[in-house]
Amino acid sequence: MRIKKLLLAIATLTLVSATPVKHQFTAAEQQQISISTPGLFNRSDAFSIDLGLLKPNEYSFPLPVGKATMRKNDVVQIDTKDGDNVKAMFDGTVRLARKHQDMGYVIVIRHRNGLETVYANNAENMVEVGQHVRAGQTIAIVGHRDGKFYCDFSIMIDGKRINPAAVFSINSHRLHRHTLLCEKHSSYINVSTVGEKVDLDENPNFTTEDVFEKKQTYKWNLEKMKKGSWAYPLPGAKVISPYGGKRRHSGVDLKTKPNDEIVAAFDGVVTRSNSHYGYGLCIVVKHANGLETLYSHQSKNLVKVGDKVKAGQVIGLTGRTGRATTEHLHFETVFKGRRFNPNLIFDHNSRQLQKSTLTLTKNGGITSKRN
């Protein structure tokens, strides 16, 4: 569904260099940090940004030698030293450059891909409104507060902050080479990812390498998965509705009690965490080699897009949001965009992995053979 919507998204914006000319912004755009981008969603309620198209000189971390820490409200604090230069993340045009009562000197840069980047707590701004800047260009001098020199950095879409971890790695500063699907809802912007190469711990039975680069098939022996590298998504649950059948049920429904803890089945990266049509509150976790798991009807999601999760980590609480008549977990398994029976992976009676080997094919096929 997510990939289909991506392909149908009318307004697909790509990262390309802007023409270096002055741009006119309204008085409100030059004063308000959080403000809608005119025309961004006029043609569609969704658009995509392919970060993989970016050339090496078209991305820069704001403080390359700084230490980044996630704070509340999707703000990254980047600590560094006195006199360090703050750099533009992408090519773009300065929309706002002024002193803010609480945030010090602030700069907002609007990019042609639909993103806006915000650089706050500057000691001095080095650019002016309407000026075109290049990725890596110095735009400010880092500011000082509470005995530290740091920049408060955030990313916005249509005036709303998004989780910056969906764009780059907080620890390594590395840009994620995937596509962002940006969807506008009444009160928020949902950002999910497509085509991500997941960066997980090495595991001989669940490799993060592209195993289909040189061959068409890959064998995954479930019986050899080590303890701690997998988890049953709702410990103690019983099946109340199986996969398939007359309803053509796309997953399996598991029930325990209201607000019970749902855990990630494997290590992965969260690519969806929002209310999604009949699914209600929904979470999608991307694992290695095209595998995804979906968890829905939650009363509360406890993770955000871009969060790395470990197998067994609590990611949500059971509920009945969306089309649901009782509190439960609807659990789906997807390989390269195709849903398949979760029973191929899990024995729901014992709540253990199946004693079998799955054969995955490059074109999305999946078969199971008992060991």
Domain architecture of the chain: domains with CATH = 2-194 (2.70.70.10), 217-370 (2.70.70.10)
Q: How far is CA 230 from CA 227, 235, 258, 343, in A?
A: 7, 12, 23, 15
With beta carbons less than 8 A apart as the criterion, state whether 183 and 115 touch: no
For the cut 80, the answer to whether the pLDDT of residue 22 exceeds it is no
What pLDDT, on the 0 to 100 scale, is given for residue 117?
98
Looking at residue 57, what DSSP letter applies? Answer: G
Predicted confidence (pLDDT) per residue in 334-359, tens digit: 988 889 999 999 999 999 999 999 99
For residues 280-301, average pLDDT: 90
Q: Cα separation of 199 and 222, whole Å?
A: 21
With beta carbons less than 8 A apart as the criterion, state whether 171 and 177 touch: no
For residues 78-82, average pLDDT: 95
List the single range of 32-46, 180-194, 200-214 with lowest mean pLDDT.
200-214
Q: Cα separation of 173 and 164, whole Å?
A: 11
The widest CA-to-CA distance across the chain, in whole angstroms, is 68
Q: Cα separation of 347 and 238, whole Å?
A: 11
Instruction: Look up tokens 């089945």; give the residue.
Output: 265
Bigger pLDDT: 92 vs 53: 92
CA angle at residue 362 from 356 to 364, to 5 degrees? 70
Predicted confidence (pLDDT) per residue in 200-244, tens digit: 433 444 444 456 767 888 889 999 898 889 999 999 999 999 998
Phi, psi of 98, deg, nearest 5: -155, 175
Predicted confidence (pLDDT) per residue in 140-154, tens digit: 999 999 899 999 999
For residues 111-136, average pLDDT: 96
pTM here is 0.56
Q: Which amino acid is at 292?
A: E
Q: Cα separation of 122 and 150, whole Å?
A: 8
What pLDDT, on the 0 to 100 scale, is given for residue 184?
85
- Beta bridge partner(s), residue 273: 283
- Beta bridge partner(s), residue 316: 262, 301
Q: Cα separation of 356 and 371, whole Å?
A: 5
Phi, psi of 69, deg, nearest 5: -135, 130
Q: Assign residue 187 a region: left if phi > 0, alpha if psi is -120 to 50, beta otherwise?
A: alpha
Phi, psi of 140, deg, nearest 5: -165, 170
Instruction: Look up tokens 């009945």; give the residue.
Output: 320
With beta carbons less than 8 A apart as the criterion, state whether 119 and 106 touch: yes
Predicted confidence (pLDDT) per residue in 269-283, tens digit: 888 888 888 899 999
Q: Cα separation of 294 and 276, whole Å?
A: 11
User: How do the residues of the chain divide into helix, strand and coil, expressed in percent and rounded to 5?
Assistant: 10, 45, 45
Instruction: Look up tokens 């000189």; give the residue.
Output: 57
Q: Cα separation of 281 and 119, whole Å?
A: 32
